[in-house]
Structure 1
Amino acid sequence: MNPDRFLALISCSETPRSQFDAIISAGRRHGLEPALLRGRLCVLVHEDAASKAADDGAGLIVGASFPRSRIGRIAGAASGGPSRSVFFSDMWGGFVAFRIDDRQQSIDVTRDPSGMAPCLVARQGGAIWLFSDLETAIAAGLSVPAMDWTALGRYLAFPHVPTQETCLAGVEKVLPGMRLRISRDGSMSQICAWSPWAYTRNDSRIRRYDDAVRLLRAEVLSSVGAWAARSSHIMLELSGGLDSSIIAACLRDLGASFSCVTFATDDPAGDERRQAGLVASALGARLHEVKLDAAGASLAPRSRQRTPAPQAISWRAMIDSGVRGAIDEAGADMLFSGGGGDNVFCYLTTAAPAADALRAFGPGPCFARAARDVATLHRASVWRAARYALRKVYWAKPKLWPRNIAFLMPGVAPASPPAHLWFTENTGAPPGKLEHTASIASAVSVSDGGERDLDVQVCYPLLSRPLIELCLGIPSWMWVSGGRNRAVARDAFSNLLPAETIARRTKGDLTGLIAGIYREHKSEIEALLMEGRLAREGILDREAVFACMRQAGPFPDASFTQLVTLAGVEYWIQSFGA
């Protein structure tokens, strides 16, 4: 559970005191205390939450915040309250910032771009409610929201597109990097407080590969060090892949106290013990091994934490159960994850890096080198890589968000993804940077509101704002140098990790585990989907589900994964009494 819980009320009344008294009384019963009470705004924060008040008393940051300076070695977070001038632009971390503008008679609520500090908004009883999580707000008096079935259909079609809407009627989300402005009359609008395009411009581009390697190493160490300073002992989810291994190397280099946990399934593709053990042994770190067994899985979520969109999936619950045991055994007070690393380190699976080189340099040696790197990476011919790059530059329309219509009724899934404020205007960014930025936007679905069933804070250091900004400034063709994905990151940490880890291209795969869960719970899944609310609301195609579940022999694709996921969605719907 996120310790940085908060509840804020913006009154639309000229005399808000009675509303504030009621919310303060309700909040105190659940460990929330007033941290900012001024004008129409009342902000309550949990007793375990990190918070800093502005020097002028007109603002508050809830969550972890650090100054915009390199840390290098483990050092404490920023001390003292943020002044008006540095309230957002000079701070980074995982926070929500409240700011009262007396002159404009407005209130600004700003989220940092990492997504590690959720913020939801709803209206009720002549007031605007802002809160870190649904359970905190409901406990304080917010009515349990109803389902928004149309929004749920859109979510199932585009689950990785961050949107303001949730799957609950009347509940919206302040998106990472956005600012919600609430005017005196109660009207609300979201604007970009942070934009990725300032870091993708040609004048922001890093020119030399060696500089990219050097700067990336320093920034990853700095970001990991800042987060590590908040913990006495860290538990790291270590797969032995590049991203989590880089975090492990940083923790060892910084002198942090940490242990690691890894997972294994009966399917060899899901057994990460050898790769994780290789890294842990090289770094001298203790490794906890957790066996994931489909026979012990439950489709119904263990956690009672309701979320604004479906989050609980059976294999995540199994992982969290194993992580809890490792955390308790090690006495850890924070969990680190490498989630989002692929996105930030520009792991693209298209010819976009060669297309970017073509746009930047024309059809010369730089483009030829990038096309050769893309061809090597994807085991294709140089001519094919060059042809796809040409199409991306001159003809192809960017497709940034995949659309999933499996088992959905016709008309449920919109033809195009929901709009995101970063992509509503012509940015002029080349194809690779468009794809890189969309991938980073998708990464916050990992950290944003994905409530895990753990008693410690979950941190995603590779989604730190300074690191995102630096990586956006590294040209996409550098990331595929030598025909390797995430090449800059590999070279930045090549002397801190085993050569086999640096060279590793494969990833652990839970497909075998999910197939086992499907087999173990097939009758339960069929009953949920054939008789559940998704089908009754016209979202789920019963005939398609029935035909798929009745076919003989192994599945020709991974459609069973979607069936298990949809069964979890049915249990999520039930958690709201719908």
Structure 2
Amino acid sequence: MGRYLICSRSPDCPADHPLPAGLRSRALADGMTVSDLSEATWLAVAGPGCPQVLGVGAWRLIGDVYNRHRPAVGRIRTEDPHDYEKKMIARFWGRYIGVRLDGTGRLTSLLRDPSGALDCVWWKQGPLTLVASDVPDWLAAAASQGWRINPARVEAALHDPYSTSGDLLLDGPAALLPGTLQDIAGEEPVTLWRPDWIVRGAAPVTDEAAARSLREAVDETLAGVVRGNGALAAEISGGLDSSIVAATLAARGKGQVRLWLNAWGPDATADERPWVEILAAHLGVAATSVPRAVGRLTEDMLDQLTTGVRPGLAALDALHDADWARRFAEAGIDAVVTGKGGDSMFIQPADIGVFVDLYRERGRRALLSRTLPDLARWNERSVWTLAGQALRRHWTPQAIDSPNPLIAPRRHADVPRHPWLQDIEDLGPAKRRQILGLVQGCGLHGPSLQTRVVSVIHPLLAQPVVEACLVLPAGQLTLGRRDRALARQAFGDRLPEAITARRSKGEMTAFYGHLIADGLDVLRPWLLDGRLASMGLIDLDRADAALTREALAWRGGYVDIMTTAAIEGWVRAWERRLPGA
């Protein structure tokens, strides 16, 4: 994944000041390419997928920028003070940030694209304004004066991991939210794009038009990926989402894909090779299936979970992450394309929440619709259960199925959730869950061992696809009968029927259960004697009971355990980086 660092001097800072000169030297030593945006501002970039610079009016967009096929600029009012920036966001998509300089060449404003695929962290250090996609050790050592770990936000991250893609867990630097503009003078950031705005601006369309819009959005996104990258790899799991991406990629750039890669687990539920073989034969490609990496957890692996300014939740399976990073490097891959995010955007599961959304739209007429018995049958519930939940006006599914069994009760209740999850109570539960999945998807763009060697791209979380899915009601995305039904219809002619009709899904629970159980000798002291425990954020009695083979066999909890382990690693890493904090 490409990285960048921007350094802009204040008017009273001479060009030979030791701080900007020292940072420039360190950036060059880190393998970054440095160029001047002006006399007062320089930019350092590095690969893989080295960010490019595109001038658009007064803005310079840094990253990967593509033109939209049908930009919806006509909906933006010209009397809006930020109409130019909103039209720019509507006209382009990609992975980028925008910078605007004043007449003296100094940084005045920042902008981040709605996808959140390229992070934007900014802070002031002495006479400098610094902006970066991440904060490696050398940058933290040189320019993190006054930074502190914020215990309340660390606690919030444990209780609500989705929050880690919003505000940082540090006091000092600030993270710009996707779709937001920041005036460096110190004013509050201005929101230019929110997912609920897209939802509320939707107009009804037929199922045929909706399916066409999904297909066009995925085609547009993959066309940009093929055009903007070199040698590609496609991650194919055998499921619907990765199959849609692989089929579209095969239609648009088959010759550019050097590796169609699948990893299979050791038990039948984790072995997707039969589905991958069906897909590969249908697409006329040669799939490479490899066993999922196995081994024992070590403290070094847990340390590797946290490689950046945010907790490393993008690659909780460190063994798999390291194995695929090695395979991509050996194959000379520039970018890998995944199907992640499709569950949320295309709507899975098609559960009670989908019918509650429909009831909110249609009122009691929904009780007479074909959707009620169809969804009841799909969920193996009675029609009375679905109808009863819909009539309970304030019912909503839980964002997190069950609380993390390792952590202590929350002490700081005043830490806000991710801004995209605020003020959306008027939306139905299925739409709220879709937005929640989008927030979670922002975390998938974080650094990992793979992003050190290739660009990791999630097309189903790109702006064209996200907007195409947000404007469609959950009932339409499921066609009122099953998960991701509209996507199955939209791409039915590109996929084998076995894939589009499939009801099951690969399951890695047993695999990860064994991994955790075999690593308890490392995980128990890591968590029970760690920094989170000393901060009072771990419930030692409950964690002691949960971190046993018996508890794992009965209750599982892989994601909770590894998420907590990753946040523990993040705290340890930043305490090393900020020894005086």
Q: Kindly, what percent of the aligned residue pairs are identical?
A: 24
Alignment equivalent of 1:173, drawn from 172, 175, 185: 175
Question: For the residues of structure 2 that align with 1:384 and 1:493, how far apart are their CA atoms?
Answer: 32
Q: CA deviation at 1:497?
A: 0.9
Q: CA deviation at 1:287?
A: 1.6
C-alpha distance 453-297 of structure 1, shift in aligned 2 (>3 A): farther
Question: For the residues of structure 2 that align with 1:329 and 1:410, how far apart are their CA atoms?
Answer: 46
User: 3-state DSSP class of the match of 1:364?
Assistant: helix
Answer yes or no: is the 8 Å Cα contact 2:314–2:444 preserved in 1: no
2:515 paired with 1:509: no
Residue aligning to 1:158: 160
User: 3-state DSSP class of the match of 1:352?
Assistant: helix
2:48 paired with 1:43: no
Residue aligning to 1:437: 435
Residue aligning to 1:308: 309
Question: For the residues of structure 2 that align with 1:321 and 1:451, how far apart are their CA atoms?
Answer: 6
Alignment equivalent of 1:208, drawn from 183, 206, 209: 206
User: 3-state DSSP class of the match of 1:432?
Assistant: helix
Question: For the residues of structure 2 that align with 1:416 and 1:483, how far apart are their CA atoms?
Answer: 40
Answer yes or no: is the 8 Å Cα contact 1:249–1:283 preserved in 2: yes
TM-score by length of 2: 0.86
C-alpha distance 558-369 of structure 1, shift in aligned 2 (>3 A): same
C-alpha distance 286-329 of structure 1, shift in aligned 2 (>3 A): farther
Residue aligning to 2:339: 338
Residue aligning to 2:378: 377
Q: CA deviation at 1:52?
A: 2.3
Question: For the residues of structure 2 that align with 1:10 and 1:328, how far apart are their CA atoms?
Answer: 35
TM-score by length of 1: 0.86
Answer yes or no: is the 8 Å Cα contact 1:180–1:190 preserved in 2: yes
Question: For the residues of structure 1 that align with 2:64 and 2:539, how far apart are their CA atoms?
Answer: 44
Structure 1 window deviating more from structure 2 (191-200 vs 444-453): it is 444-453
Residue aligning to 1:79: none
Residue aligning to 1:24: 24
C-alpha distance 163-254 of structure 1, shift in aligned 2 (>3 A): closer
Answer yes or no: is the 8 Å Cα contact 2:96–2:118 preserved in 1: yes
Deviations along 1:526-563, one digit per CA (max 9) or x if unpaired, are 22222221211211122212233457576321135533
C-alpha distance 287-477 of structure 1, shift in aligned 2 (>3 A): same
Answer yes or no: is the 8 Å Cα contact 1:7–1:136 preserved in 2: no
Q: What does 1:28-177 correspond to in 2, within 5 Å?
A: 28-30=28-30, 31-37=32-38, 41-46=41-46, 49-54=50-55, 58-69=58-69, 87-100=88-101, 107-135=108-136, 138=139, 141-143=142-144, 146-161=148-163, 164-177=166-179
Residue aligning to 2:418: 420
**One-letter amino acid of the counterpart of residue 272, structure 2:** E
Question: For the residues of structure 1 that align with 2:418 and 2:517, how far apart are their CA atoms?
Answer: 38
Deviations along 1:5-45, one digit per CA (max 9) or x if unpaired, are 11123445533533544443433333231242266x54333
Answer yes or no: is the 8 Å Cα contact 1:199–1:470 preserved in 2: no
**One-letter amino acid of the counterpart of residue 163, structure 2:** V
Alignment equivalent of 2:468, drawn from 467, 470, 493: 470
Q: CA deviation at 1:242?
A: 0.7
The structure where helix makes up a greater share of residues is 2
C-alpha distance 475-55 of structure 1, shift in aligned 2 (>3 A): closer
User: 3-state DSSP class of the match of 2:433?
Assistant: helix
User: 3-state DSSP class of the match of 2:370?
Assistant: helix
Deviations along 1:394-449, one digit per CA (max 9) or x if unpaired, are 2336755667342112234x558733333444684344333322322222121245
Deviations along 1:49-74, one digit per CA (max 9) or x if unpaired, are 23224265x43211100011169xxx
Structure 1 window deviating more from structure 2 (516-525 vs 294-303): it is 294-303
Residue aligning to 2:194: 195
Answer yes or no: is the 8 Å Cα contact 2:115–2:461 preserved in 1: yes
Q: CA deviation at 1:501?
A: 0.8
Residue aligning to 2:81: none
User: 3-state DSSP class of the match of 1:220?
Assistant: helix
**One-letter amino acid of the counterpart of residue 407, structure 2:** L
Answer yes or no: is the 8 Å Cα contact 2:222–2:459 preserved in 1: yes
Question: For the residues of structure 2 that align with 1:117 and 1:226, how far apart are their CA atoms?
Answer: 16
C-alpha distance 305-9 of structure 1, shift in aligned 2 (>3 A): farther
2:253 paired with 1:255: yes
Q: CA deviation at 1:460?
A: 0.7
Question: For the residues of structure 2 that align with 1:577 and 1:423, how far apart are their CA atoms?
Answer: 30
**One-letter amino acid of the counterpart of residue 69, structure 2:** S
Answer yes or no: is the 8 Å Cα contact 2:156–2:163 preserved in 1: no
Answer yes or no: is the 8 Å Cα contact 1:300–1:314 preserved in 2: no
Answer yes or no: is the 8 Å Cα contact 1:529–1:567 preserved in 2: yes
Alignment equivalent of 2:483, drawn from 482, 485, 497: 485
- Aligned residues, how many? 555
Residue aligning to 1:524: 522
**One-letter amino acid of the counterpart of residue 491, structure 2:** F
User: 3-state DSSP class of the match of 1:205?
Assistant: coil
